[in-house]
Amino acid sequence: MEYTLITGATSGIGRALAIEFAKRRHHLILASRNTVKMQEYQKEWLAKYGITVVCLTIDLSSPGAPEKLFAACQDKTVSVLVNNSGFGLGAARQTEQDLAETDRLFQLNAGAVLKLSMLFGREMQKRKHGYILNVASTAAFQPLPYAAVYGASKAFVLSLSEAMHMELKDSGVGVTALCPGITDTNFFQYGKPRVPGFLYKLVSPELTARRAVKALYQKKIYLVPYFQHWLIAQISRWLTRRAAASLLHHIEIFRKRVR
């Protein structure tokens, strides 16, 4: 029996991805801190889709957690890995951010993705079959003033995924970076961004998940699932990196003034 392992699968894009795989009759391993939600979905998806759902309670930002998750899956064949867990901090200068929270963010958004991709990627390479979907962001394409480490962590995920895609493509293993723009999830715990819809549309996690799974099986190197978001992400191609950073800096200053 083969499984799809999804981290952070109890809400937002992670939950939408889990449902998309469940519709395709994938047996699932859910890894999250939210045991109650996982158990709810376990019962619901067993009844609705007739699949096996394994729940593993774990905080992937804690030391050694990726290795513990890998060890817990050794009696199962993981053919699809989805690295979705991640979070952001409130908008502020990096020097004003909490050091412990910044470290936790980087460990979860980047460190756990690296370790899980390596550990499960090795097993897939041996079997000459498998897929890895790493959730990055359109924030990966340019510097992100006032969310510096979040942007940097997602740039790391994008670069890592693109490199691993090329390294493993002849081994029967597909690696894809998913780079969503602003999506209608609880990620925006500090308030949804004040961006006019005609400039930057807030899209559903379900649309993102459908297009992500399709791109994964097509073994695309990366995907921005909504054209308008892809277009905005190309700002780093139109401008110098300094100009792009300066533009985003002034946009954030303007947003603070109109709140």
- Residue 240 is predicted with a pLDDT of 56
91 falls in which pLDDT band (50, 70, 90)?
confident
User: Which pLDDT does position 250 carry in this prediction?
Assistant: 43
**Within 10 Å of residue 188's Cβ, how many Cβ atoms?**
13
Say which range, 79-83, 102-106, 181-185, has the weakest mean pLDDT: 181-185
What phi, psi does 5 have (nearest 5°)? Answer: -100, 125
Confidence of residue 187 (pLDDT cuts 50, 70, 90): low
Query: For residue 21, is pLDDT > 60?
Result: yes
Lowest mean pLDDT, pick from 30-39, 40-49, 165-174, 230-239? 230-239
Among 117-121, 202-206, 236-240, which is the least confidently predicted range? 236-240
Q: In the chain, what are the domain boundaries?
A: 2-258
pLDDT bin (cut points 50, 70, 90) of residue 142 is: confident
Task: Quote the pLDDT of residue 11.
Answer: 92
- Mean pLDDT computed over 218-225: 95
Residue 207 C-beta-side C-alpha neighbours within 13 Å: 14
Kindly report the pTM of this predicted structure: 0.87
Question: Residue 200 above 70 pLDDT?
Answer: no
Mean pLDDT over residues 51-77, rounded?
A: 98
Query: For residue 137, which of 121, 158, 160 has the smallest C-alpha distance?
Result: 158
pLDDT confidence tier of residue 242, bands split at 50, 70 and 90: low
Candidate from 14-18, 68-72, 217-221, 240-244 with smallest mean pLDDT: 240-244
The mean pLDDT value for 183-206 works out to 59
CATH architecture of residue range(s) 2-258 = 3-Layer(aba) Sandwich (3.40)
**Nearest Cα to Cα of residue 220 among 175, 172, 190:** 175
Helix axes 205-217, 12-23, angle to 10 degrees: 50
79-88, 125-134, 150-159, 241-250: range with lowest mean pLDDT: 241-250
**20 φ/ψ angles, rounded to the nearest 5 degrees:** -65, -40
